Amino acid sequence: MRALAVGATGQFAGLVVPALAAKGVQVRALVHDPAKAERARELGAEEIVAGDLRDRCCIDVALDGVDGVFHITPAFAPDSAELGVGMVEAATAAGVGRFVFSGVYHPSLSLVNHSSMRPIEEALYRSGLAFTILQPAMFLQGLAGSWADATARGVFAMPYSKNSAMTFVDYRDVAEVAALAFVTDELVGGTFELATGGMITRAEIAALMSRHARREVVAVDVDPGLALAGMPPGAMRDGLTAMFADYTAHGFHGGNNLVLRTILGRAPRTLDDYLRELATSPVSQETR
């Protein structure tokens, strides 16, 4: 099995490459920046194709000779839906047999970073491809920067309410599910919500951070306008502004881990597990 991995050097999709390699999948990495080719090889990619998702000729070259595609869209890209649909169409035309799409938890939400995933899912449903759709909750890996700040200053600051309950998932577990979708037929045709289990507020996360950091960490709210002051106007700023307001008003609900636990055959990694890893990492130890 040879699979094309989109976003192979990204913060999150980069976790999929070693998961695929561990399952014996030969990985062809699609990288936007040719300078990152060596990083893709370090992660386990055997082949590298440099190119842009907006260049159909490049996509056709990247798809030539592969058996499957792992696809994830750039966050808040104004044309994310078109990019995803275009990849489905290109994969179909190339005769690719399998397509694994890492979308988003609750694509039924009206937030643009959620609703933009629906056309991609619809394209897959109508494509005739052997698809697997993954709908992961908020990524625990997104807390890494906040952890560094919390251990340095004792503050866990975000531009939404510290009392809003959220649901998370460790993207390494998502990557493992993605890899399984290439080496077994059991996940073909499925659409799976993936969460570590339960919901938690930032105030509660700060308490966990305090325990692992061995210092007091306090959750504080930051005005969204101040948090985004350095970001130019555009789709990403508008999308983040709407997302933060929605989180404050409603949180990010869900958190049932039955699907993820069943697919993995074990308990998913937890927030407590993730913070423990951060606390014991060499970089974290050096900053204390």
Question: What does pTM read for this prediction?
Answer: 0.94
Q: Give the pair of three-digit tokens for residue 88.
A: 């489905």
Please report the pLDDT score of residue 33 as a whole number: 87
Please report the pLDDT score of residue 74 as a whole number: 82
Select from 194, 201, 212 the least CA-distant residue to 254: 194
Q: Is the model's pLDDT at 286 over the cut of 90?
A: no
Place of tokens 């370090």: 42
| Residue of higher predicted confidence among 281 and 28 | 28
Please report the pLDDT score of residue 283 as a whole number: 54
β strands within 187-283, DSSP E = 190-194, 200-201, 218-221
Please report the pLDDT score of residue 230 as a whole number: 87
Q: Per-residue pLDDT averaged across 210-231, rounded?
A: 94
Q: Per-residue pLDDT averaged across 91-116, rounded?
A: 96
Say if residues 251 and 166 touch (Cβ distance below 8 Å).
yes
β strands within 67-214, DSSP E = 68-72, 98-102, 130-136, 138-139, 155-158, 165-166, 168-169, 190-194, 200-201
Burial class (CB in 10 A: 0-12, 13-18, 19+), 128: exposed
Please report the pLDDT score of residue 11 as a whole number: 86
Please report the pLDDT score of residue 288 as a whole number: 45
Select from 111, 63, 109, 112 the least CA-distant residue to 86: 63
With bands split at pLDDT 50, 70 and 90, how would you rate the model's confidence at 130? Answer: very high
Q: Is the model's pLDDT at 282 over the cut of 80?
A: no
The whole-angstrom separation of Cα 191 and Cα 209 is: 33
Return the percentage of the chain with pLDDT > 70, whole number. 98
Q: Summarize pLDDT for 261-279 with one digit per residue, the tens.
A: 999 999 999 999 999 999 9
Q: Is the model's pLDDT at 287 over the cut of 50?
A: no
Full set of structural domains in the chain with CATH: 2-139+168-195+254-268 (3.40.50.720)
Q: Mean pLDDT, the chain, as a whole number?
A: 94
DSSP-derived secondary structure for 116-148: TTHHHHHHHHTT-SEEEEEEE-EEGGGGHHHHH
Q: Summarize pLDDT for 107-125 with one digit per residue, the tens.
A: 999 999 999 999 999 999 9
Q: Per-residue pLDDT averaged across 174-178, rounded?
A: 98
Select from 195, 189, 158 the least CA-distant residue to 174: 195
Return the percentage of the chain with pLDDT > 90, whole number. 89
Q: Per-residue pLDDT averaged across 230-258, rounded?
A: 94
The whole-angstrom separation of Cα 137 and Cα 119 is: 19
